[in-house]
Structure 1
Amino acid sequence: MTTIHILVVDDDAEIRNLLGEYLHKNGYSVTLAADGKGMEVALEKGKIDLIVLDFMLPGDDGLVLCRNLRARSNVPVIMLTARGDETDRIIGLEMGADDYLAKPFNPRELLAHIKSVLRRAHVLPEKYAAENAQFIYFAGWKLDTVARHLVAEDGLVVALSGAEYRLLKIFIEHPNRVLSRDQLLDLTQRSDADPFDRSIDVQVSRLRQRLRDDAKEPAIIKTVRGEGYVLAVPVDIKA
């Protein structure tokens, strides 16, 4: 069985070495880096299965590194921060991080997050690169990302609210991937959003109506009991 290779990027030598030793003891191959340059060197040397990336780094910070990484790779990223700021957490997820952990934390807690992220990553297809696509096709629908509306097979144009468009885009970027309510909330919520409009269940219900998806037995956005929701249809992206 191939050993999972984890890259830990943190400018705090004590934390970096502690995590390296702990993860090594738990059966992982570990590479350590103190900054973005070290991270790039490690990525060039060989396959990395997951990156533990500190938010605050000298030079390019974790957000910049994560955003740049996502332009060319889907390797899972767990972001670490000493601030514990919810805004930072949401921005980190928007930049492409798969999970988030605030310092200080117990190494066992990080290990649990690593196992969870790897479990999802190893059974899911590659993330679709929908950022620069104008037209995205699924289940007979066409999403126009410039006009931000849907077009049905019969030519009917269906307008989407900002919240509906953001939610649909997240599903499209992660087809056949079960997304929890918390993940969907983090990935879709804007910092200036109405704090009372936070129900993902309501937003999913509205989106299903736009997609003419049967509420009782939906075929496009399915409910996974106890876990969340999944876009359960193929996605075709056109630049």
Structure 2
Amino acid sequence: MQEWFTPARETWLYRVNPALKFAMFFALLLVVLFNQHVAFTFNQMILYGILLYGFSGYSWRRLLLFSLPIILSFFSSALTMMLFGKGETVWWSWGLIKISEESFNYGLLLGYKTACFGFLGLAFVLTSRPILFFYALMQQFRLPSKYAYSFIASIRMLPVIVDELQTRSNALKVRGVQFSKGIRGYFERLRMYTVPLFAQSIRRAQRVAVAMEAKRYQMGAKRTYFYPTNYSKMDIVFVVIMTISFVSAYLLA
């Protein structure tokens, strides 16, 4: 699973401070959310698509695979609004389906917004390491360590849970456990898998809570960090490039 999120090369986006990158992307997404201009939103979608496909460092085949949910969301949201939206200038109508000029424009706007959210979110996930992101939040944005390390511990648990799921599956196969067909078999699998996994997760969460309390994360005192993060010249370049690109997208609209 980890090799899927390993880039073929590390581009300049990897050298940007993750906290600053998150703040910039969040501000851009707010603009997308409240913008009602179709051409401007389309330009933003092209801009964020270039950012993802050109500077994420992943192969085109893998990026297209990652983008399948975004593409499906784009067409489903746009077509739903186009076919069932409201409008006065009706182009074509048949039963419940009514395509108007207003619904067509709103459908494009909604589809472009969906793609913008998907492209920016995927670009951030693929070019940011989760551990460094939370360390940057603690050091640059002063996020309390008890919250940041809680998220880090949760992320660290995900591979362990996947391994436990695989171990449980292998153990059931070795024991020759046979499940019924149909809905009954589904509930049998649910019972055989969820109960042990929930029990192990509760025990592990208890151990993590005791460990964090022993290390005084609740005191709020100043701490040292294993991964120091700071701002660099690449952060300035990132802000300048994104600002110029954003203004250009607005002017071209």
What TM-score does the superposition give when structure 1 sets the normalisation length?
A: 0.26
The structure that is helix-richer by fraction is 2
Structure exhibiting the larger radius of gyration computed from Cα positions: 2
Q: Looking at both structures, which has the greater relative contact order when contacts are Cα pairs under 8 Å and sequence separation is at least 6? A: 2
Richer in strand (by share): 1
Q: TM-score, normalised by structure 2?
A: 0.25
